[in-house]
Structure 1
Amino acid sequence: MTEDVLVVHGGTPLQGQIRVRGAKNLVSKAMVAALLGESPSRLFDVPRIRDVEVVSGLLELHGVKVSAGAEDGELVMDPTNVESASTDEINVHAGSSRIPILLCGPLLHRLGHAFIPDLGGCHIGPRPIDFHIGALREFGAVVDKTPEGMHLSAPNGLHGAKLELPYPSVGATEQVLLTAVRAEGVTELRNAAIEPEIIDLICILQKMGAIIKVHTDRVIEIHGVPRLYGYEHKPIPDRIEAASWAAAALATRGEIEVLGARQQDMMTFLNVYRSIGGELKITDDRVARAGVSGSEGGIKFWHPGGELKAVALETDVHPGFMTDWQQPLVVALTQARGISIMHETVYEQRLGYTEALNSMGATIQVYRDCLGGTPCRFGRRNFMHSAVIAGPSKLHAADLRIPDLRAGFAHLIAALAAEGTSRVYGVNLIKRGYEDFEAKLAALGAHVERL
């Protein structure tokens, strides 16, 4: 569609100030958590992104009243009249998001039944729901598979269970948390994900009345309670979007201040950023409120001039280098002198975007081998999941088609860094996770226009 094409006139350093709101990977789960309460919840600093629209639609299908609050970015969710939704209505959202599976636990508690359609999301590798289903069965759910999806019921209610994840999956950890908080008895989850978004979700559930203990060694203990109430919460800022703009500053030799970005959530990224040769300055929010800086806290990222340095990186679960950080940063690494290595250990099909970068003049070779020592989910399974980047490379304009959310932003950065005019197709996919990205580009001095 013509309105889905962005014309990018590259070669201009991005300079200026933008702001990030609540984390995409937390906000949607916080909205699901509102289903568990018996009174309205208020979520602040909610970004205007497609995923929020999808989850709002799913909640409204189940009788939750979703409305804008008094403040900009405030969302009010009233779950007092939760009701069943038809499978046809739910299937309308089937290809838009993977959120429906996380509604199962809350709906089983509220209604006694739930439905899982065929799940969508970005095509970055299979994300099996086997553990989700297995965990729900351990809690006492009965799962009936049908051609249109899976129907779940809980004839005897849900009860606590002892579970251990084969891999510290964020989605599976969220599933257990959202189900265990109102299950009768105690749930113990081992090898849990401990990402900042997970901890923030736990904070929300605790505000609602849950009893959740985070132990050492990735063990989470949940004591089920009979009822939960609404919450008021400001989510952590989006560390993925902040890192994406940081990479854009580096790739275009610019300077971008990302208001709202928080140091403690991004320490691993910030260390890598400095190792490459990027510069940054952190403005503590407490100092900003005191009036010293005159603005909201955040992080300023810039290219200091000179050459960038090659690095060897591996993605990993928190506190490792986040898989969603690698695509935008690889664009910057095409401008670093020497040989950089990126070993993707989380999603097996996440390096496909490098073909487009090569068409723009980058020199990137992908390999099946594990080029690093971090334990890999799919080593020796014939997936191209390691990349070797030789640089620096002079990027030139090209026509690009966006394959998924994070790769899409990487393609956009490449077009901004390249000499000449590029056409980027499928840019509406970026709206899934980046609020008002075109307005932010304009604020940073980028020369872009809709075709």
Structure 2
Amino acid sequence: MNDLLYVNGGNPLRGDITVRGAKNFVSKAMVAALLGETPSVLRNVPQIRDVAVVRGLLELHGVRVDADDAAGTLHLDPSDVEIAHVADIDAHAGSSRIPILFCGPLLHRLGEAFIPDLGGCRIGDRPINYHLDILRQFGAVVEKRPQGIYLSAPKRLQGTKIALPYPSVGATEQLLLTAVRADGITELAGAAIEPEIMDLINVLQKMGAIISVDTDRVIRIEGVDRLEGYQHTALSDRIEAASWASAALATGGDIYVRGATQPEMTTFLNTFRKVGGEFVVDDEGIRFYHPGGDLRSIQLETDVHPGFMTDWQQPLVVALTQAKGLSIVHETVYENRFGFVDALVGMGATIQVYKECLGGRPCRFGQRNFYHSAVISGPTPLSAADIEVPDLRGGFSHLIAALTAKGTSQVRGISLIDRGYEHFMDKLTALGAEFSRD
């Protein structure tokens, strides 16, 4: 595909778009279908590249996948699960980190699994060591080979007690997908409790799992011998909804995000209002708009749920370049998430990044030489530029900046945005954005 977009910015985005199921949940629910002895049905599935990648990986492992793209429905039949060829998995792996989550379900179903080198966005140190350590504690045998990592389960996996040093979403997902069919009780302390995790727990409970979540971030799973398929409607994508909200704020626009839901976005909505944005929640979605006047600078710290999520930070930073005064953003989740601001500075933004923990409590990156705090001075008019998309969320942020800037920007690498934003160019058209592919 043509990976270059010409964006003529400087005009408010106005209109009505629809957001479907959360990228960070749907792919994991698809993997969970591997654990069932009967077919599953997943609804509200977006047409994004990550879903296509997971579908391909499932099909390589013998799962029959039937999709109704218009309705957003997937039928997943795992009756004939088999081990996939190394080369085939490797062909898919460069574009997703999801293969690591196949391990637990495959060890239960087949007694073996294989992981090639993993791809995904380069936004920080996201090693698979947590995942492999977790699988070892369940009793999996891990063997490193030239093509990747081979895992086997000579006998049934056993429940275990694990304490995470940080509430990692990926590690929590790995544990859930492995523990539900392990023998005995598993306890995870320091678990992630994001809405997408809770929805995965909903799916697993529908399948027959026994899972409790305590208020102190402890998840307990009582393993069962057999799981059935599920029928489930995915929760809405709160990251995409917030991205369009930030686009409305940055461009002085008015966007109705059909499908957006308030409970998962409470923290974002509070911050959006503090900056000076307005929103209206109804039964169908949320309207986000710039009411006029000056936007206000804020002090912001990202955190695990229920804090301000890291994936909301980058799009909002673009809007903060249009706010009056000094805004401070302290990133505590990923250590390398401010690489995207270089392009904004090139467009006229005044942003300085720091290694210190600014504007909040000290975090785990404070003594580790990472640029993880940013000070944004505004408002600054943005000018068109040639931009290279660095990663999924940073890429959408650059797109917002190009839409905010006066003149025509060239945005390269836009295929990365397809990973997590369904039909984003159709949505830009619906919002009155001026752009072309030529």
Q: TM-score range by the shorter chain?
A: over 0.9
User: Secondary structure, in 3 states, of the residue corresponding to 1:299?
Assistant: strand
TM-aligned CA deviation for residue 314 of structure 1: 0.7
How far did 1:375 drift? 4.9
Compared CA separation, residues 441 and 114, structure 1 to 2 (3 A): same
The separation in 2 between residues aligned to 1:195 and 1:234, in whole angstroms, is: 17
CA contact (8 A) 1:40 1:76 kept: yes
**Which string of whole-angstrom CA distances, capped at 9 and with x for unpartnered residues, describes residues 203-239 of structure 1?**
0000001000111200000000000011010010000
Q: Which residue of 2 aligns with 1:31?
A: 30
| One-letter amino acid matched to 2:360 | G
Provide the rounded CA distance (Å) in 2 between the counterparts of 1:344 and 1:13. 29
For residues 254-403 of structure 1, the aligned pairs below 5 Å read 254-283=253-282, 285=283, 297-403=284-390
Map residues 182-197 of structure 1 onto 2, 5 A cutoff. Answer: 182-197=181-196
What is the distance in 2 between the residues matched to 1:381 and 1:333? 27
User: Which residues of 2 match residues 157-168 of structure 1 at below 5 A?
Assistant: 157-168=156-167
Task: Please report how far the alpha carbon of residue 116 of structure 1 lies from its aligned counterpart in structure 2 after TM superposition.
Answer: 1.1
1:274-320 alpha-carbon deviations (Å, 9 max, x no partner) = 0000000000x2xxxxxxxxxxx100000000000000101100000
| 1:418 to 2:405 alignment | yes
Q: Which amino acid aligns with 1:120?
A: G
Q: Distance in 1 between matches of 2:135 and 2:205?
A: 21
**Corresponding residue of 1:90:** 89
- Aligned mates of 2:178, 2:149 — CA distance in 1: 17
- Give the letter aligned to residue 22 of structure 2: A
SS of structure 1 residue aligned to 2:53: helix
For 1:108 and 1:205, the matched residues in 2 are separated by: 17
2:154 and 2:125 map into 1 onto residues whose CA distance is 31
Task: State the one-letter code of the partner of 2:339.
Answer: G
User: Do 2:47 and 2:69's aligned partners in 1 also have CA atoms closer than 8 Å?
Assistant: no
Do 1:363 and 1:390's aligned partners in 2 also have CA atoms closer than 8 Å? yes
Matching residue of 2:417: 430
Q: 2:144 corresponds to which residue?
A: 145
Counterpart-to-counterpart distance in 1, 2:69 and 2:253? 36
Q: TM-score, normalised by structure 1?
A: 0.96
Q: For each residue in 1:362-395, what CA deviation from the matched residue of structure 2 results, as whole angstroms up to 9, or x when unmatched? A: 0000011111334523221111111000000000
For 1:375 and 1:105, the matched residues in 2 are separated by 35
User: 1:12 is paired with a residue of what secondary structure?
Assistant: coil
Count the aligned residue pairs: 438
Give 3-state SS (helix, strand or coil) of 1:414's partner: helix
Identity of aligned residues (%): 68
In 1, distance between residues paired with 2:131 and 2:371? Answer: 27
Tell whether the 8 Å contact from 2:330 to 2:360 is kept in structure 1 after alignment.
no
Three-state SS of the structure 2 residue aligned to 1:266 is helix
Instruction: Name the residue aligned to 2:42.
Output: 43
Q: How big is the shift at 1:34? A: 0.3
Give the Å deviation of 1:72.
Answer: 1.1
Give the distance between the partners of 1:236 and 1:70, measured in 2 at CA. 17
CA displacement, residues 381-431 of structure 1 (integer Å, 9 cap, x when unaligned): 111111000000000100100000000000000000000011100111100
Change (3 A) 1:369 1:375: closer
Letter in 1 for 2:435: V
Shift of 1:33: 0.1
Structure 2 residue runs without a partner (length 5+): none
Q: State the superposition RMSD in angstroms.
A: 0.9
SS of aligned partner of 1:388: strand
Stretches of structure 1 lacking an aligned partner (at least 5 in a row)? 286-296
